Amino acid sequence: MRILIASDKFKGSLNSREVADNIAVGLREVLPEAVIETMAVADGGEGTASAISQALGGEKISCPAHDALGHEIEAEYFWLADRATAVMEMSAAAGLWRIRPGQRDLVRSDTFGVGELINDAVRRGSQEILIGLGGSATNDGGFGMARALGFQFLVNEHEAESAVELVNLHRIKAPTRRLTARITAAVDVRNPLLGSRGATRTFGPQKGGTTEQLELLENGLNRLADVVAHDLGSDFRDTPGAGAAGGLGFGLMSFCGATIKPGFDVVAELIGLRDAMAKADIYRKHGLTHDHPGFLPWRIAELSQYLQKLFAMWRTKPGYGEVASRKRSICCSAKAGSVSAVARCDMKPTTCVAGAGSSASP
Q: Please give the backbone phi and psi of residue 130, each rounded to the nearest 5 degrees, phi first.
A: -110, 125
Query: pLDDT of 55-70, one tens digit each?
Result: 898 999 999 999 999 9
Check: CB of residue 151 under 8 Å from CB of residue 255: yes
Flag whether pLDDT at 252 surpasses 90.
Answer: yes
Q: Pinpoint the residues of the chain covered by CATH 3.90.1510.10.
A: 48-264
CA dihedral of residues 64, 68, 70, 73 (deg, nearest 10):
-30
Instruction: Write down the pLDDT at residue 36.
Output: 87
Check: CB of residue 167 under 8 Å from CB of residue 173: no
Instruction: Write down the pLDDT at residue 291.
Output: 37
For residue 158, list its beta bridge partners.
155
Query: pLDDT of 110-121, one tens digit each?
Result: 999 999 999 999
Query: pLDDT of 184-203, one tens digit each?
Result: 999 989 999 999 999 999 99
Flag whether pLDDT at 275 surpasses 90.
Answer: no
Query: pLDDT of 26-46, one tens digit each?
Result: 888 888 888 888 888 887 877
Instruction: Write down the pLDDT at residue 327.
Output: 47
User: What is the identity of the amino acid at 85?
Assistant: T
Instruction: Write down the pLDDT at residue 230.
Output: 98
Burial of 221 (0-12, 13-18, 19+ CB in 10 A): buried
Instruction: Write down the pLDDT at residue 221.
Output: 98
- Poorest-confidence range of 122-126, 162-166, 176-180? 176-180
Check: CB of residue 209 under 8 Å from CB of residue 286: no
Span 2-40+281-358 CATH architecture: 3-Layer(aba) Sandwich (3.40)
Instruction: Write down the pLDDT at residue 296.
Output: 63
Flag whether pLDDT at 318 surpasses 50.
Answer: no
Check: CB of residue 153 under 8 Å from CB of residue 255: no
Instruction: Write down the pLDDT at residue 37.
Output: 85
Instruction: Write down the pLDDT at residue 15.
Output: 77
Could you confirm whether domain 48-264 is CATH 3.90.1510.10?
yes
Whether this model's pTM surpasses 0.95? no
Instruction: Say what percent of the chain tops pLDDT 70.
Output: 77
Task: Identify the band that residue 297 occupies on the pLDDT scale cut at 50, 70 and 90.
Answer: low
Burial of 60 (0-12, 13-18, 19+ CB in 10 A): exposed
What sign for the dihedral angle of Cα 91, 97, 103, 106?
positive
CA separation (Å) from 211 to 109, 205, 314?
16, 8, 38
Dist. CA 189–CA 317, nearest whole Å: 24
Instruction: Write down the pLDDT at residue 307.
Output: 61
CA 97, 268, 86: angle at the middle one, nearest 5? 60
Name every residue whose Cβ is closer than 8 Å to that of residue 322 and which is 6 or more positions away in sequence: 13
Task: Identify the band that residue 95 occupies on the pLDDT scale cut at 50, 70 and 90.
Answer: very high
